[in-house]
Amino acid sequence: MNRQTYHAKNHEVDRRWVVVDATDQVYGRLASRIARILQGKNKPEYTPHHDVGDFVVVTNVEKMHFTGRKLDQKLYQNYSGYPGGLKTYTYRTMLEQHPERLLEKAVRRMMPRNRLGRQQFSKMKVYRGPEHPHTAQQPEALEITAKSA
């Protein structure tokens, strides 16, 4: 019986491409499941100090579902660094103008805050509508439900 802990090496990792349809998915729950897939925590060979996650393509991001009154109460802030440079937007405004940024911000804030987290986050591609340019990678459709991941 082998008593050594297995650590995946970079050349041993089998990365898949996954397509997630964000239609009628709850915003925060979708973001947390995507973050787990990007980090590779859904795989048995998960290694915390290596990038073992999969590529994730998210489509129909403008059709995400928000619970409660988040669309009008939660705020997104951007500060330019100059006096008077604070801009504040509601989630409803961001959903109408840049829905990709909402999901990207949520997932980025769930990733590790180091070089590895930035490398893992770069494998996420977010698009409005059902079309995406990654058909050559033959991505698998992943059905995210309340019980999965």
Residue ranges of domains in the chain, CATH in brackets = 15-67+97-142 (3.90.1180.10)
Tell me the pLDDT tens digit for each residue of 82-109.
Answer: 999 999 999 999 999 999 999 999 999 9
3-state helix vs strand vs coil in the chain, percent to 5: 35, 20, 50
pLDDT score recorded for residue 148: 56
Q: Average the pLDDT over 67-76 and give the result.
A: 94
For residue 75, pLDDT beyond 80: yes
β-pairing, 75-79 vs 86-90, is: antiparallel
User: Against a cut of 0.85, is the pTM above it?
Assistant: yes
Phi-psi region of 59 (alpha: psi -120 to 50; beta: other; left: phi over 0): beta
Distance CA(54)–CA(79), nearest Å, equals: 33
pLDDT over 90, % of the chain? 87
